[in-house]
Amino acid sequence: AQTVTQSQPEMSVQEAETVTLSCTYDTSESDYYLFWYKQPPSRQMILVIRQEAYKQQNATENRFSVNFQKAAKSFSLKISDSQLGDAAMYFCAYRSLQGGSEKLVFGKGTKLTVNP
């Protein structure tokens, strides 16, 4: 079974600075998807960014980008020009392409604090 590990329970960053959240995963599959979700205090799960494993190019979405290292099974999230609204729990997730189910396996999350 696949597992996702987020080794940083909490992180903090100054407003306008850059922060990187770490995620590693374990899988024997060669094709899959990886995601970062944001959960603000409202508890809504919001998709931040998605990466297809077969694509070597790292995904970017405005101030959010990933560093995807397939061989190392590493998938970190970089937030540039951090804003107060970025404060939230961030979850890394894995999605298998096998078995007929598109379920997500989540890490335990990283709580990000943005200091003004």
- Where does this chain bind other proteins (CB under 8 A)? 33, 42-47, 50, 91, 95, 97, 99-109
Q: Cα(40)–Cα(6) distance, rounded to whole angstroms?
A: 18
User: How far apart are CB 89 and other proteins at their closest, in Å?
Assistant: 10
Least distance (Å) between residue 91 CB and other proteins = 7
Are the beta carbons of 111 and 41 closer than 8 angstroms? no
CB of 79 to other proteins, least distance (A): 20
Secondary structure of residue 86 in the 3-state scheme: helix
Nearer to other proteins, 13 or 107 (CB): 107
